[in-house]
Amino acid sequence: MESVNVSFGHRLWWVDAFIGGAERGNPAVVVLLERPMEDHELQQIAFELGVSETAFVRRVGDTWSLRWFTPTVEVDLCGHATLATLHVLLSELGVPGGEFYFQTRSGVLSGRRLRDGMLGVDLPRAYIEPLNDAVLNGTLGKVLEVYQAGPQSVLAVVDDYDTLCGLAVDPMSLFLVPSSMVIVACHGGPDVDVSIRVFAPRLGLAEDHVTGSAMCAISPWWVEKVGSPVVTVRQASARGGVMHARLFEKNVEVAGLARTFFGGDLRA
């Protein structure tokens, strides 16, 4: 019996982030690393798991190292997987509450527990600049406004909620838009200030379910339009999600609810 290997690998949790009453949120798998792993190993795990984002978290002194992978590439920022990671640390691992700090490719991000079961994470705000709508190559049909939202995102505004929900987008056409992420927004929606859809074919995601990092652009745009630093947003995807955001000088606090769907061990 001494030759039988009974050790387990890294622990993991499937978490639905930015859930609502009828909204199922965006799944992220959070993997707690017990040891460093090579990049190609992390990418292979993310490919096998197949969710839009897999978060790999590891304790480093008083902070946490956090990386995010789609099934095809590592990304610089992911809001819903960061919220999912914070949920795991607090609800699954019982790490004492307070302020959490994550070392990431986008710098040090922070997160915390808020009231009414909400969690909040701070993401770097984007600065928006008007663009000519020709950058979209007509892929979204008629748009009211188009903005560059940081170095990797484009924000397009359409007429209304019905127009937003009715968009039939060809991922290959959007792939030609020079941006990693295309955010489409409109004023209003069921019980919210703004509704959005998000497409990221260059990251291997035809359409994302719920996108916390989109708030980095939506919050500055909302302030510019109505003057309020606080906005509630619905993502009108098949799963649906609800996010709350508050704009500060250098960051956006993005808040929402999360739940664990299942947990287990990774035999890798």
Question: Of 201, 247, 228, 189, which is closest to residue 52 (Cα–Cα)?
Answer: 201
Cα separation, 223 vs 230, in Å, equals 8
Which two three-digit tokens encode residue 201? 């074919």
AA identity, residue 158: V
Bridge partners (DSSP) listed for residue 121: 111, 254
Q: 155 in helix, strand or coil?
A: strand
Backbone φ/ψ region at 137: left (φ over 0), alpha (ψ -120 to 50), beta = left
- Determine which one of 53, 74, 145, 207 is catalytic: 53
Distance CA 38, CA 261 (A): 27
Q: Pick left, alpha or beta for residue 5 (phi over 0 → left; psi -120 to 50 → alpha; otherwise beta).
A: beta
The pairing of beta strand 63-69 with beta strand 100-104: parallel
Q: What are phi and psi of 66, to 5 degrees?
A: -135, 125
2 is catalytic: no
Which tokens sit at 29?
């798998």
Find the distance separating the first CA and the last CA of the chain, reported in whole Å: 22
Residue 41 contacts residue 266 (beta carbons within 8 Å): no
Catalytic residue positions? 53
